[in-house]
Amino acid sequence: MTQEPAAKSTPFSIEQALSRFDLLIDQLEARSPGEAEPVVDTLTPDGVTAQAGAVTSAATTAGVRQSERPRSAVPLQTDAPVVLSVSGLVKRYGSTVAVDGVDLEVRGGQIFGLVGPNGAGKTTTLSMVTGLLRPDQGSVLVSGRDVWVDPAAAKRDMGILPDRLLLFDRLTGRQLLYYSGMLRGLDRDTVVARSGELIAAFDLDDAQDRLVTDYSAGMTRKIALAAAMIHSPRLLILDEPFESVDAVSVATVLDILRRYARAGGTVVLSSHSMDLIESACDSVAVIAEGRVLVSGTTESVRGDISLEDRFVSMIGELQPGEDMEWLRSFSD
Amino acid sequence: MVALFLRLRLAQFSHSLRRRPTELLGLAILLALGLVLTGYAIESFADISELALGEAATRGILSGALITLGFLLLPLLTVPDDIADPRVFGPLGLRAGIVARGLAASALISVPSVLLIVTVLAYVLAWSAHPGVALVAVLSGVLIIATTVLGARLTRSLAVIVFSARRLREMAGLLGVFALLSGLPFALSLALGMRESSLAERVAEAASAVGASPLGLAWAAPADAAAGDIDGALGKLTLALLFLAVLWLLWYALVARMLRTRGGVDPSLEVAGRGLGWFDVMPRTAAGAIAARSLSYWVRDGRYKLALAVIPVISLAVIVPFLVIGVWWQNLALVPLPVACLFIGWLLHNDLAHDSSALWMHIAANVPGWADRLGRAIPVLALGIVVIALLAPISVLLYGDWTVFPSMLGVCISAVFSGVGISSYLSARMPYAAVRPGASPFAQPQSSGSAAGQAVSFFLIVLACLPSLLLAGMELAEGGDWGLYSLLAGIGVGLLVLVLGIAAGARVFSRQAPELLAFTLRN
């Protein structure tokens, strides 16, 4: 449904595209009224209770919060198709196990957050999910197609923004967008029209004819994000999309992502900013030491404290800090 | 006002000594090098009073012109962070004349300038030993110093303007090395030519030509005077003075311009307009886009430009030793082009590693292996074909016998096509660590690892050229139809290796793309 040709009507603005998304949402809602029973797709390890009933109440108590932080859409639907299914993913480097059996299930039409402390294996997991890093074990299915068995079909549905990888930065921003579009096999007119809209949406007009190597870190992030979207994928996998992006741009990008999710698109993003994940994501998975500790709707994972507190308490149990007695007995 | 500039310069000078010990050591080594070069120049000038007039003139003019040339080119080599940049004085609202005079005068206070003055003093003293030359020698000495110091000052500021964009700055060092490399054969032939009497004549001719050029005018004047040609000497002095005046006008205009402009704007991007550059030219497919991207990199990226710039130097340098030992130049006219073609075919052999981790874009889009390989090959193939089309007729024309034309084509086509094929395969199969994008092309890669691909690819390309090369040899030896066979063999082998290489490279790329990305990440 996101594959609609955005280029056909000529004086085309991102606003129009977004309003069309809105229309689509309305239609979806009209088709299934009242069925939106907010039940959670749960994956509950020990200690985390995420029963459906508890979550429903959590969702209602969180109603106030929800209004101040608008999420992508109507409550999650359990009958939404599973867009991304990861099972038993393992990656070892010598004797260290970077990712130790990660299972994830992400349903369509939502923003899914991946949080975890530094070195938890987020980037490694996402690299394997996106087909950039060959896993030692496990499988990754995108809309039912295995990334590592049928990469052509799986990658067509996926737009990705890796962390810490370079772009072809000796191209101008516009050339880079064109390049990604052509690599994806789009036709020229579509690419040109879409790049124009993306450049406008990400507020890169002034920079579009400058070399990407001369961009600031935040601008580079934005042009990479635009490049990830140009083939209108069903699934966006974004590793630290908001790193060094300014607050205004974060709001803009989040707005775009929410509308995208409301139109049926799926976003999987990782971040170390709890606030951001809490306000942006419908579901989260907490990952630490290469394993998924808990996964579910943001409300169910959070309980009645903030996501950050929940996260800290979970990770804290996992990694009890040293006493560091010496730090309190100051030397003179 | 000029005195103020001089005081400023002295202050800068003393500040530049306040550095960390390691940096001071580097400076000391550079200084020692400068002193040694100066000593060497003084010693060679000291003989001037004793040598025969002609030989003395040759030596004086050639080494003198070399010194002036060095002063003009060295500022291009160094990173242009000019602390005496005229733009710094912009906010002060000084008149351009004052800044131009002040900066030119303060340029005299530098280690190279002082060493130059000492060297020129030795030159003047040596010629003054000849009767009636003293006045001309002193005048030319003054002109030499003024011209050289002002010229160096001018190129330094020009370098700042021309190379203002960061990417172009890489080009600066590149040009410098280019100049050095092309100067090398000249120095070599000079050193060898001094010994052999037959070549000494040709060197003397070269010296008189250099003596009539702006670089050598002032250096040549004393020699003319010593030979009794006072009118010639005065004429040269006048022309040298004129050249100095031209330099001054240029310097003045440059300062005036630099005082007005602030900051650097890269002009190449202002004219970019609404087009997509090479992307507009290439086919509208994935392979076409990759070809356009490669082309953009060949013209924008210092690492690629260095590789391109070295090719003409190498292919010409190859024949220098033969020239020096006296092989007739027409027989050598056939050599440079095939050598250039060999290196053009070799250009791609580590292309993938140059992408660094940006390679992920190809993997994420699941670009088919053949599109990746073919796209990268297209610009190099195009370059090779253009070079062959332009230079093959010229080479054969210089050689003077058109019967070798088919075999010339055969060898060159074989080198380019099979070279691209082999490189396409090996850049996916045996990549090795490359300089990261944006780093200086002269930087060493961060991790070394095996660079076997380098040697293997070169060896294989030479191997693939052997059939047409051998047939071309038969043609040269016996004539007849061998040339035609050489052409056929070249085209046949070239196309076969090209297709096989791209297919094999595509297979490796498709299967091992993630491993290739992991490889680029390790660097």
Mean pLDDT computed over every residue of chain A? 79
**% residues pLDDT > 70 (chain B):** 83
B317 Cα to chain A: minimum distance (Å): 32
Confidence category of residue B212, pLDDT binned at 50, 70, 90: confident
Contacts of B168 in chain A (CB under 8 A): none
Determine the pLDDT at residue B410. Answer: 94
For the beta carbon of residue B275, count every other beta carbon within 10 angstroms: 13
Residues B287 and B401 in one domain: yes
pLDDT at A273 over 60: yes
A227: chain B residues, CB-CB within 8 Å: 361
A156 and B288 within 8 Å at the Cβ level: the answer is no
Band of residue A46 on the pLDDT scale cut at 50, 70, 90: very low
Identify the residue among B169, B171, B266, B279 best suited for mutation to test binding to A, counting A beta carbons within 10 A and taking the highest: B279
Q: Is residue B332 part of a domain?
A: yes
Tell whether the model's pLDDT for residue B487 goes beyond 80: yes
Mean pLDDT of A277-305: 88
The pLDDT, as a whole number, for residue A23 is 58
pTM: 0.64
pLDDT computed for residue A59 by the predictor: 39
Contacts B297 to A, Cβ<8 Å: 168, 170
| Nearest-Cα residue of chain B relative to residue A158 | B364
Q: Which residue among B260, B289, B312 closes a domain? A: B260
* A1, pLDDT greater than 80: no
Q: Does B284 touch chain A (CB under 8 A)?
A: yes
* Residue of higher predicted confidence among B291 and A16: B291
Q: Name the more confident of B447 and A190.
A: A190
Structural domain includes residue B86: yes
Rg (CA), chain A: 20
Q: Do B366 and A187 touch (CB under 8 A)?
A: no
Q: Does B367 touch chain A (CB under 8 A)?
A: yes
Say which range, A266-280, B43-57, B115-129, B397-411, has the weakest mean pLDDT: B43-57
pLDDT at A50: 37
The nearest alpha carbon in chain B to A173 belongs to B276
Quote the pLDDT of residue B372: 95
Q: Which of A126-130, A159-163, A272-276, B290-294 has the lowest mean pLDDT?
A: A272-276
Rounded average pLDDT over A309-328: 72
Q: pLDDT at position B299, please?
A: 85
pLDDT confidence of B182, banded at 50, 70, 90? low
* B219 and B284 inside one domain: no
Average model confidence (pLDDT) for chain B?
81
Inter-chain CB proximity A156 and B289 less than 8 Å:
no
Q: What is the mean pLDDT of residues B431-446?
A: 71
What is the model's pLDDT at position A78? 66
> Which residue is listed with tokens 């020239």?
B323
Model confidence band, residue B229 (pLDDT cutoffs 50, 70, 90): confident
Select from B234, B260, B286 the last residue of a domain. Answer: B260
Q: A140, A142, A160, A183: best mutation site toward chain B, by most B Cβ within 10 Å?
A: A183
> Which residues in chain A are closer than 8 Å to B276, comparing Cβ atoms?
174-175, 178
Statement: residue A69 has pLDDT above 50: no
Statement to judge: residues B381 and B461 lie in one domain: yes
Q: Is B518 on the interface with A (CB under 8 A)?
A: yes
Cα B146 to chain centroid distance, Å, stands at: 27
Mean pLDDT value across residues B223-233? 82
Class of domain A14-317: alpha beta
Tell me how crowded residue B152 is: count the other CB atoms within 10 A of its CB: 21
In a domain, B492, yes or no: yes
Judged against a pLDDT cut of 90, whether residue B152 lies above it is answered with: no
pLDDT per residue over A195-226, tens digit each?
A: 999 999 998 999 888 899 989 988 999 999 99
Task: Band the pLDDT of B269: cuts 50, 70, 90.
Answer: very low
Flag whether pLDDT at B367 surpasses 90. yes
**Segment among A122-136, A138-152, A176-190, B302-316 with least mean pLDDT:** B302-316
Q: Band the pLDDT of A62: cuts 50, 70, 90.
A: very low
Highest mean pLDDT among A139-148, A271-280, B213-222: A139-148
pLDDT on residue B28: 79
Say whether both B292 and B235 belong to one domain.
Answer: no
- Final residue belonging to a domain, choices B260, B288, B322: B260
Measured between CB atoms, which of A132, A174, A183 is closest to B367? A183
Does B368 share its domain with B463? yes
pLDDT of residue B62: 81
Three-state secondary structure string covering chain A? CCCCCCCCCCCCCHHHHHHHHHHHHHHHHHHCCCCCCCCCCCECCCCCCCCHHHHHHHHHHCHHHHHHCCCCCCCCCCCCCEEEEEEEEEEEECCEEEEEEEEEEEECCCEEEEECCCCCCHHHHHHHHCCCCCCCEEEEEECCEECCCCHHHHHHCEEEECCCCCCCCCCEHHHHHHHHHHHCCCCHHHHHHHHHHHHHHCCCHHHCCCEHHHCCHHHHHHHHHHHHHCCCCCEEEEECCCCCCCHHHHHHHHHHHHHHHHCCCEEEEECCCHHHHHHHCCEEEEEECCEEEEEEEHHHHHCCCCHHHHHHHHHHHHCCCCCCHHHHCCCC
Among B90-94, B329-333, B420-424, which stretch is predicted with the lowest mean pLDDT?
A: B90-94
Percent of chain B with pLDDT over 90: 26
- Please list every residue in chain A whose beta carbon sits closer than 8 Å to the beta carbon of residue B288: 182
Predicted confidence at residue B503, as pLDDT, reads 95
Q: Report the residue of B170, B274, B293 to disrupt the A interface, i.e. the one with the largest count of A CBs within 10 Å.
A: B293
Domain residue spans in chain A? 14-317
Residues B343 and B376 in one domain: yes
Mean pLDDT of the B357-384 span: 94
Place of tokens 């060949």: B298
Give the pLDDT confidence score for residue A220 in this predicted structure.
93
Query: What is the span of the domain harbouring residue B84?
Result: 2-11+41-260
**Does residue B414 share a domain with residue B315?**
yes
Task: Verify that B103 and B147 share a domain, yes or no.
Answer: yes
Of A130, A168, A179, the CB nearest to B364: A130
Nearest to A171 by CA among A205, A226, A208, A219: A208
Say which range, A12-21, A293-302, B156-165, B263-272, has the weakest mean pLDDT: B263-272
Whether the predicted pLDDT of B505 surpasses 60: yes
pLDDT band at B71 (very low <50, low <70, confident <90, very high): confident
> What pLDDT, on a 0 to 100 scale, did the predictor assign at position B130?
79
CB B453 within 8 A of CB B426: yes
pLDDT-based confidence at residue B194 (cuts at 50, 70, 90):
low
Q: Note whether residue B271 is domain-resident.
A: no
Mutate to test the interface with A, among B305, B361, B521 (most CBs of A within 10 A): B361
| Mean pLDDT (whole number) for A45-60 | 38
Q: What are phi and psi of A46, to 5 degrees?
A: -55, 145
Q: B444 and B327: one domain?
A: yes
Q: What is the mean pLDDT of residues B39-46?
A: 79
Of A203-212, B236-245, B500-509, give the range with the top mean pLDDT.
B500-509
Facing residue for B365 by CB, picked from A171, A175, A184: A184
pLDDT of residue A17: 57
Would the pLDDT of B363 be above 60? yes
What is the number of structural domains in chain B? 2
Residue pair A181/A195 in contact (Cβ under 8 Å)? The answer is yes
